[in-house]
Structure 1
Amino acid sequence: MERFTIKPEVYFKVGALEYLTTIDKEKALVITDPFMMQVGFTDQVLDVLRNTVSDLDVFSNIKPDPPIEVVADGIEQMLKIRPDVVIALGGGSTIDAAKSILWFYEKIVKRQEGQLEQKPLFIAIPTTSGTGSEVTSFAVITMGDQKIPLVSDELIPDVAIIDPTFVKTVPPQITADTAIDALTHAIEAFVSTQASDYTDALAEKAAKMIFDYLLTSYKEGNNIQAREKLHNASCLAGMAFTNAYLGINHSMAHALGGAFHIPHGRANAILLPFVIRYNAFCNDGTETRAARRYAELAKVLGLPATTICEGVNNLIAAVKVLLLETHTPTSLKELNIAKETFIQKLDSMSEAALNDRCTTTNPRQTNKEEIAVLFMVAFGE
């Protein structure tokens, strides 16, 4: 028996923020980051909330790759305020931090008081088109040099607001990084060992929309139609991978992010062509399950695929075109990482990637030695 679920209520298109006017709560906590405060997005949310919520607080100390210390500070504020609605406003780091804060807060209250009278309504408003965190059961926090993935249905927000108004001003390179992260979600979900008819439908649609609208969003940031489609695609990819899970592309990206603080989307983008080729393993004409799945996705994208290996190679080529057109590095060495330092951390990164939760559903069984080789291939010469 297999399972497919989509928990959040999703409100989308321009003006979706108006959903907040329907909230009938007393205390709200908005979890966000300093940039959202600076550009006025937080005030925009607070202005809408003031129509129905009497007591408003803000926790704005979120940092990229949220460290456990920030999560602890957020929990402390939650315990003081005891809000009945929590709103995460920001990119993947903010939503992941909010998930973690709320998750640990509920466990602490239950441990101390025996029960939580009413779980806060949890609303996520993404301001980048990439992580899909607003609809997933995953969160990633940082402890020292390690990224720790949390996985639980309890992490899934109750409501997701997918309003493209919040992504119109995202800079081109961040647009590319986050969108290719979403593309990686879709591709990894499609070839995952846990893929199903349900996740395939979401992953296929998300991948096609990203290929159709990424470059327009990158070059014409104010094109609201392209922004809306890319924002929706990110959410669809999140729905796919929260059910099908991911693979070593994300496992390796988590390890790279922990070791070198590389933006998550950028790490995924650089690794993607190398991981597709590794998983497909069709250089000698062998038709593996992964190769057939990649070729099937190539056909969905309208790429030539008269043979399995041709489909794989053309999918890789299409990804490389996106990297080229968005000025995204195509090797890790382009990030100015010293090769000696990279080699010093290679063993620990390979170990972390192998033990990452995402590795369990990768379409090709792997080991530490093969992951290390793949890291070096992606580093480049």
Structure 2
Amino acid sequence: MQKIYFGENTVNIANEIKQILPRNVLIITDLSFYEICGAKNWIEPFLSDGKIHYFFDFETNPKYEDLKKGILFCCKNKIDLIIAVGGGSVIDMAKLVRVFAYSDIDTVNAIENNIVSFHKQKIPLIAIPTTAGTGSESTHFAVIYIEQKKYSVAHELILPDYAVIFPRFTYNNPKYLTACTGVDALCQAIESYWSVKSTEESRKYAKEAIQILWKYLPLALDNQSEARNKVAFASNLAGKAINISFTTAAHAYSYGFTTYLKIPHGHAVSLTLPYFFNVNNKITSKNCNDYRGVEFVRERMSELSELLKGHSKKTEVNLCNFFDSLFNGYEIDTKIRDDLWNNIVLSVNVQRLQNNPVKLEAHIKKENLKWE
């Protein structure tokens, strides 16, 4: 059971660390941002009884080669506590290092086939997000790239033991990063709500996240502290929602846009989600992929439309306008070259696609994605 601490009550997390009694602590982070956001000065006084090691030699979207380096570094230094401080890539790296370290598992096979059998004895992991959006601190899966293909590894032991949400660590984030991560959280919540794996609990988390993000994300871009606090809380809610339901078609397609077009993840999902909202609104008995039936899905889509301030036929437009208002003014090339489309289709995450309430093939026509 994960423990989540929200706010700046340092006593609780300090007590947790004391109980672990770490001798060698591995901090996985972006080293420069770790200092700038204030995390270094907050964390390290709690670690005075142990030796601190840092691992930061990996890319924004971590590759398998990066993971191998992290595992070797962890084992070489006999790490007995990992603290991840950063965005989704940093936390995902920490999650994978901690479960594969001290293990004789065939790592590539485990990742490519999602066949994992980890020892219950694992290194304790504290996840401290410095962006408000990915929700990785509260999910039991992690992402890694092997030869430009994105894999998601899922296992209950991947979930961090502790999530510490300190919104002030996000206060200095640039506007575009805030928009990307916040939109990622909103899309996670929307997809979680319509996912074929949704439950009453996941929809409760998702609904609250949508309500908060729809209202406060635009204000967070203006660096309003209260809004950033709200967005950080909502992002964790979205993470808890997809931890149950997983994401669906919009995320499944977005990964290729990040890999081949270099569009940041949250921005990429905003380009696909309106299209799939429209697709799911047109559900029929023939294409329904949810065992609870067509009417169940239609009710969920109607509820989403209400949450997103529109009737079902207008919600796609509302979403496009909302995303445009957040990303307006940033020179990001979102055009898809014909020669890359096949690569993007091949990179679609089939597992996520199967969570969509409408049955879909991996190949859709490029012209159907209307942002160009």
Letter in 2 for 1:155: I
1:232–1:40 Cα change, 3 Å? closer
In the alignment, what sits opposite 2:101?
A: 105
In the alignment, what sits opposite 1:85?
A: 81
Matches within 5 A, 1:69-148: 69-108=65-104, 118-148=121-151
Identity of aligned residues (%): 26
In the alignment, what sits opposite 1:298?
A: 305
1:350 equivalent to 2:345? Answer yes
Map Cα deviations across residues 258-303 of structure 1 (whole Å, 9 max, x no partner): 22232111101121111211222279xx9765443221123245x3
In the alignment, what sits opposite 1:367?
A: 361
Matches within 5 A, 1:104-253: 104-108=100-104, 118-219=121-222, 221=223, 223-253=224-254
1:50 equivalent to 2:47? Answer yes
The alpha carbon displacement at 1:62 in A equals 3.3
Map Cα deviations across residues 174-193 of structure 1 (whole Å, 9 max, x no partner): 11111110011101010001
CA distance in 2, matches of 1:86, 1:229: 27
Secondary structure of the corresponding residue to residue 362 of structure 1: coil
Given that residues 37 and 170 in structure 2 are in contact (C-alpha distance below 8 angstroms), is that contact kept between their aligned partners in structure 1? no
1:38–1:9 Cα change, 3 Å? closer
Unaligned stretches of 5+ residues in structure 2: 108-117, 288-293
Map Cα deviations across residues 214-244 of structure 1 (whole Å, 9 max, x no partner): 011011x1x2221111001010111111101
Given that residues 263 and 334 in structure 2 are in contact (C-alpha distance below 8 angstroms), is that contact kept between their aligned partners in structure 1? no
Structure 1, 234-243 or 312-321: larger mean CA deviation: 312-321
CA distance in 2, matches of 1:318, 1:179: 17
In the alignment, what sits opposite 1:12?
A: 6
Moved over 6 A (4+): none
In the alignment, what sits opposite 1:307?
A: none
Secondary structure of the corresponding residue to residue 327 of structure 2: coil
Given that residues 34 and 62 in structure 1 are in contact (C-alpha distance below 8 angstroms), is that contact kept between their aligned partners in structure 2? no
Given that residues 135 and 240 in structure 2 are in contact (C-alpha distance below 8 angstroms), is that contact kept between their aligned partners in structure 1? yes
In the alignment, what sits opposite 1:271?
A: 272
Matches within 5 A, 1:278-357: 278-281=279-282, 289-301=296-308, 303-304=309-310, 311-328=311-328, 335-336=332-333, 339=336, 342-353=337-348, 355-357=349-351
State the TM-score, normalizing by the size of structure 2: 0.86
Letter in 2 for 1:378: L
Task: Give the number of equivalent residue pairs.
Answer: 350
In the alignment, what sits opposite 1:68?
A: 64
1:17–1:318 Cα change, 3 Å? farther
Given that residues 11 and 162 in structure 1 are in contact (C-alpha distance below 8 angstroms), is that contact kept between their aligned partners in structure 2? yes
In the alignment, what sits opposite 2:369?
A: 378
Given that residues 194 and 245 in structure 1 are in contact (C-alpha distance below 8 angstroms), is that contact kept between their aligned partners in structure 2? yes
Secondary structure of the corresponding residue to residue 124 of structure 1: strand
The alpha carbon displacement at 1:312 in A equals 2.0
Letter in 1 for 2:51: D
CA distance in 2, matches of 1:252, 1:229: 28
Letter in 2 for 1:171: P
CA distance in 2, matches of 1:65, 1:335: 18
CA distance in 1, matches of 2:119, 2:209: 37
Secondary structure of the corresponding residue to residue 142 of structure 1: strand
Letter in 1 for 2:187: T
1:89–1:175 Cα change, 3 Å? same
Given that residues 106 and 116 in structure 1 are in contact (C-alpha distance below 8 angstroms), is that contact kept between their aligned partners in structure 2? no
In the alignment, what sits opposite 2:258?
A: 257
Letter in 2 for 1:104: F
Letter in 2 for 1:94: V
The alpha carbon displacement at 1:125 in A equals 0.2
User: Which structure has the highest helix share of the two?
Assistant: 1
CA distance in 2, matches of 1:263, 1:18: 36
Secondary structure of the corresponding residue to residue 177 of structure 2: helix
Secondary structure of the corresponding residue to residue 233 of structure 2: helix
Letter in 2 for 1:28: V
CA distance in 2, matches of 1:350, 1:178: 24
Calculate the aligned-residue CA RMSD, in Å.
Answer: 2.7
Given that residues 266 and 328 in structure 1 are in contact (C-alpha distance below 8 angstroms), is that contact kept between their aligned partners in structure 2? no
Map Cα deviations across residues 291-338 of structure 1 (whole Å, 9 max, x no partner): 43221123245x35xxxxxx22343233223213213589xxx74356
Q: Residue 33 of structure 1 is aligned with which of 12, 19, 30?
A: 30
Letter in 1 for 2:70: G
State the TM-score, normalizing by the size of structure 1: 0.84
Secondary structure of the corresponding residue to residue 161 of structure 1: strand
Given that residues 75 and 102 in structure 2 are in contact (C-alpha distance below 8 angstroms), is that contact kept between their aligned partners in structure 1? no
Letter in 1 for 2:168: T
Map Cα deviations across residues 109-131 of structure 1 (whole Å, 9 max, x no partner): 899xxx96942211000001110
